[in-house]
Chain A
Amino acid sequence: MSDDNRQAEVTFLWNGTPIRARQGDSVAAALWRAGITTLARSRKIHRPLGYSGAYPTGVLARVNGRPNVRLDQVRAEDGLVVEMQNTWPAPRFDLLKLARVLPPRLVYGGFEHGAWMPKAGPAYRLAERAMANLAGVARPADAAARASLVPGERMAVDCLVVGGGPAGISEANRRAGLGETVALVTRGDRLARFASAAGIVVEPLDPKVRLFAGMELFGVYRDGALMVGAPHDNRRGAVAFDPRAAVLATGRRSIPPLVRGSELPGVLDAHSALQLAAVHRVMPGRRVAVVGTGAEKGLADRLVSLGVDVVHRGPVGELEEIRGRSRVTAIRAGAEIRCDAVVHAGPWRIDPSLGFQASGEGMFQMLARPLPDTMSVAGAAALGDERIHARRHLHPGTLICPCMDVTAGELYCHIDEGETDPEVLKRLTSCGMGTCQGFPCWEHMLALLAARIGVEPEAFARPTHRPPRRSITVAQAAGLAALVEPDR
């Protein structure tokens, strides 16, 4: 919205339309600036999804013939061809989005259990083919795109720090000061993205620390003796670390409000709203509501100082509904408030994947142990989880898992029949089996389940978290084959 002529411009194509972007913009930010907020559609009902910070499925698109590329991790470049997925016959003339008029009940268990399909014979085969096309969402990579193996790297370090925020930097610097060899992995393309965007001054990283930016550390193997990360950039190789010690400084994420409409384009977590406003200089919306568990006041002040018009700030527990059809148009929090964006700053919760991999075995969960002695937690990740505000009777249309289109209504069908085992609910509905692999949607599922039957959410073991959570391509993984020997 603010024009800065000093920055060079690039032009890429979105569904065939040229979009001008600033050099350095992510494609998601550039599209937001151009007023395009629906970047993807959910799998079954084709609900509009966009850049949210919480659900990666909303930013997956086809880029230069490659399926499922995260638009918030791709820089806008001249000539980039970006297309929306899950459309037919074409992104600009999409008949599949008519699925939005289907009653949600019709797709309960749909793709997973073939409820509406013929049971055998050629009719089944035809239905299966139709379903495979609908459920597949993305076309396979272009036949011409013959990927070749991307060689990986193996690296022994005294200490591996996961997380490039202030806590991770501080811990890496301290260890390097003691003479240890230290590697720091951060998923950001640079260090302390969020702290800087929030206006916090962060100490510089000791140059002796080997920095891996733009990399997702996704796997903890062999009780923490082997940890693996892969760069977002598919042309760069994965790294297998042999750390003598590891520090998880992965921070916490804000979980979207557990109300109807929380998947709508325009609902952003604090991190991504700050990224848009402070780094890309794009307003998250014209009229912005900020909710949270205490941090909303500071966040709202920061957004106002960046030029954002904040029309509401209040506790997330008071939020009753987010309204809108293809993006946010209002919220209900006591009264109805017109706005086109909702930014949430809490409840804050820890992404449990790495900790679970290091400690939990998976089958009966009671085998979950404390972290191995070589692993520790630093920064906000050590603060624990904040409680998710959940009502006993959510609107059945409240979307719990945007990847698999699992609603509160579908979960209630099973819970109200007496099925209260999270592992079983997961298998009956596929909740959490999509792009995000359970974070944040299992947090929502467990909170909903606990509220529905009137117990504490801690009563439930969480479903199993497993790597690599789409953090590595086949070609990158193949590049590790010669580097890691089977454990004999």
Chain B
Amino acid sequence: MNKPLPKRASVVIVGGGIQGLSLAFNLVEQGQRDILVLDAGYWQGGASGRNGTLIRPGFSSMAWTELFVLTVNEWRTWSKRLGENVMFTQRGYSVISETEKSEAMLIEGLKVQKSLGVDSRMLSRREIEDLLPAIDKSRVRAVQHQPEGGVAPHHAVMKGLLAFCRRSGVDVRYRTAIGGVERTGPRASAVLVGDHRIEADCIVACAGPNNPEIAAMAAVPLNGFGMRIEAMALEPTRPLIKPAIALIDSLAYFHQTARGEVVGGTEVPETPRMSLKVDVPVMAQMAKVYLDMFPQLGEVRILRHWAGQFHASSDYAPLLGEHPELKDLWFSAGWSYGFAGAPAAGKLLAEAIAKGRIDRRMKPFALDRFEKTGPIAEGGIVLA
């Protein structure tokens, strides 16, 4: 366990969450060796162990939908490729509208999704009854259903990734914080752990809420802002809700896990802040959503309520690629749908790093898009 840190690595990945491990896994598949993953916290301590675990292919913009079609295709292959059961299940993803405005947006989004071959449709009243028998139908205006969407429990996913990485010789270190990023001329050349210097051909920041710190160590700018998001789990019961659900007007999302808890979160208009503590309004608001939508949940007790942190870009879309001002420093940052997107991000970044090939699906998410092409407009995300 405690062998000394190496003096050099081909790729140093900062952050051992799902982004970092997905990248390491894909790099291994591309034939890369000497990969080092450093994480300041503990395994699953960051957002990879605190998120809603929902996965869907369809959004309302081309850029997001292309990326997430890829990610769903990747998710389907992970258990086999990792040799570990990540328990990905395509039990469907229903986006529910309660207003005329959001219904129109969902119908509009279908055009983009259909053009990219996403299986997605608006459900009839009859289909809503069949799929969601326990929902209060009087509150539902429209449902856009994506049968290929679903969930994957993060504990199983992270366990599978870590087991694969360790088996494949990736050096993964938790509770190991980096203290600096060294620059040599136009490129990033090493990271520092205390006094120890690790030279690298390439450094990739996958550090979630800590990405701005990594950027600051390398003295380069990074778009975005930090915030916490809260989620909670209800006491388990046998199955009541089948698909994953997003309520686009209430900004709430939830699903019933394979072990019975209803897990979900919502947003309230608080000042964005970085903290792992929770507050009453999210619990109360989320409870109200459950009570309104699934009255049978009213008597269920709330087991646990937690917060996770992330660093979102100003358009909530990921920041993927090499930093425009510093060669060999790469980012997988700015994520708000990072758990779902990690398989695609890992694949695209690994191809870019190992083969030098920038996939067209990655290009819209370049770090300098705000200056060059402008932010990505995506109305189908459950965030505001």
Instruction: Report yes or no: A470 in contact with B87, Cβ–Cβ below 8 A.
Output: no
**A138-B291 contact, Cβ under 8 Å, with A363-B41, A466-B304, A473-B298:** no
Check A361 for interface membership: any CB of B closer than 8 A.
yes
> Which chain A positions have C-beta within 8 A of B305?
466-468
Instruction: Name the distance in Å between B37's Cβ and chain A's nearest Cβ.
Output: 15
Check B288 for interface membership: any CB of A closer than 8 A.
yes
> Which chain B positions have C-beta within 8 A of A470?
235, 301-303
Instruction: Report yes or no: B76 in contact with A120, Cβ–Cβ below 8 A.
Output: yes
Instruction: Report yes or no: B85 in contact with A114, Cβ–Cβ below 8 A.
Output: yes
Contact with B along A128-149 (1 / 0, CB 8 A): 1101110111111111011111
Q: How far is the CA of A172 from the CA of B284 in the complex (A)?
A: 29
> Which chain B positions have C-beta within 8 A of A124?
87, 89
Q: How many A-B residue pairs have CB under 8 A?
A: 239
Instruction: Report yes or no: B299 in contact with A128, Cβ–Cβ below 8 A.
Output: no
Instruction: Name the distance in Å between A355's Cβ and chain B's nearest Cβ.
Output: 14
B304 interface neighbour in A138, A143, A469, Cβ under 8 Å: A469
> Which chain B positions have C-beta within 8 A of A467?
278, 304-305
Q: How far is the CA of A437 from the CA of B301 in the complex (A)?
A: 13
Instruction: Report yes or no: A484 in contact with B269, Cβ–Cβ below 8 A.
Output: no
Instruction: Report yes or no: A138 in contact with B236, Cβ–Cβ below 8 A.
Output: yes
Check A165 for interface membership: any CB of B closer than 8 A.
no
B236 interface neighbour in A137, A478, A479, Cβ under 8 Å: A137
- How many residues of B are in contact with the other chain, CB < 8 A? 67
Instruction: Name the distance in Å between A344's Cβ and chain B's nearest Cβ.
Output: 26
Check A254 for interface membership: any CB of B closer than 8 A.
no
Instruction: Report yes or no: B288 in contact with A149, Cβ–Cβ below 8 A.
Output: yes
Instruction: Report yes or no: A132 in contact with B238, Cβ–Cβ below 8 A.
Output: yes
Instruction: Report yes or no: A480 in contact with B302, Cβ–Cβ below 8 A.
Output: no
Q: Is the interface of A mostly helix, strand, loop or mixed?
A: loop
Q: How far is the CA of A115 from the CA of B260 in the complex (A)?
A: 18
**A135-B236 contact, Cβ under 8 Å, with A149-B288, A423-B45, A477-B284:** yes
Q: How far is the CA of A145 from the CA of B306 in the complex (A)?
A: 28
> Which chain B positions have C-beta within 8 A of A228?
280
Chain B binder among A198-206, A219-227, A259-267, A318-326: A219-227
A136 interface neighbour in B89, B239, B268, B302, Cβ under 8 Å: B239
**Quick one: which of A463-488 are within 8 Å of B by CB?**
464, 466-481, 483-488
Instruction: Report yes or no: A145 in contact with B278, Cβ–Cβ below 8 A.
Output: no
> Which chain A positions have C-beta within 8 A of B285?
481
A135 interface neighbour in B44, B85, B260, B304, Cβ under 8 Å: B260
Contact with B along A219-242 (1 / 0, CB 8 A): 101100010100000100000100
A112 interface neighbour in B1, B43, B259, B279, Cβ under 8 Å: B259
Instruction: Report yes or no: B280 in contact with A484, Cβ–Cβ below 8 A.
Output: yes
Instruction: Report yes or no: B290 in contact with A140, Cβ–Cβ below 8 A.
Output: no
A113 interface neighbour in B89, B159, B286, Cβ under 8 Å: B159
Q: How far is the CA of A364 from the CA of B240 in the complex (A)?
A: 36
Check B134 for interface membership: any CB of A closer than 8 A.
yes
Check A125 for interface membership: any CB of B closer than 8 A.
yes
> Which chain A positions have C-beta within 8 A of B158?
427
Check A111 for interface membership: any CB of B closer than 8 A.
yes
Instruction: Report yes or no: A112 in contact with B85, Cβ–Cβ below 8 A.
Output: no
Q: How far is the CA of A335 from the CA of B240 in the complex (A)?
A: 51
**Quick one: which of B39-53 are within 8 Å of A by CB?**
40-46, 49
Instruction: Report yes or no: B280 in contact with A361, Cβ–Cβ below 8 A.
Output: no
Instruction: Name the distance in Å between A419's Cβ and chain B's nearest Cβ.
Output: 9
Which A-chain residue is minimally distant from B282 (CB atoms)?
Answer: A486
Instruction: Name the distance in Å between A410's Cβ and chain B's nearest Cβ.
Output: 14
Instruction: Report yes or no: A474 in contact with B258, Cβ–Cβ below 8 A.
Output: no
In this complex, the member of A119, A143, A471, A483 whose beta carbon has the largest number of chain B beta carbons within 10 angstroms is A119
Instruction: Report yes or no: A112 in contact with B155, Cβ–Cβ below 8 A.
Output: yes
Q: How far is the CA of A146 from the CA of B258 in the complex (A)?
A: 24
> Which chain A positions have C-beta within 8 A of B260?
132, 135-137
Check B358 for interface membership: any CB of A closer than 8 A.
no
Which A-chain residue is minimally distant from B279 (CB atoms)?
Answer: A221
Q: How far is the CA of A466 from the CA of B275 in the complex (A)?
A: 13
Check B281 for interface membership: any CB of A closer than 8 A.
yes
> Which chain B positions have C-beta within 8 A of A140?
134, 237-238, 240, 296-297, 300
> Which chain B positions have C-beta within 8 A of A142?
296
> Which chain A positions have C-beta within 8 A of B238?
132-133, 136-140
Check B184 for interface membership: any CB of A closer than 8 A.
no
A361 interface neighbour in B239, B259, B277, B303, Cβ under 8 Å: B277
Instruction: Name the distance in Å between B172's Cβ and chain A's nearest Cβ.
Output: 12
**A112-B89 contact, Cβ under 8 Å, with A137-B260, A471-B301:** no
Q: 17 pairs across A/B with beta carbons < 8 Å?
A: A67-B300, A135-B260, A136-B238, A137-B260, A139-B237, A140-B240, A145-B299, A362-B276, A418-B1, A423-B44, A435-B235, A470-B303, A478-B290, A478-B291, A481-B281, A481-B288, A487-B279
3 closest pairs, A vs B, by CB?
A: A147-B298, A136-B260, A477-B287
A149-B291, A473-B301, A474-B290 are known contacts; what are 10 more A-B pairs with Cβ within 8 Å? A68-B235, A136-B238, A141-B300, A148-B295, A362-B276, A364-B41, A466-B305, A470-B302, A475-B291, A487-B270
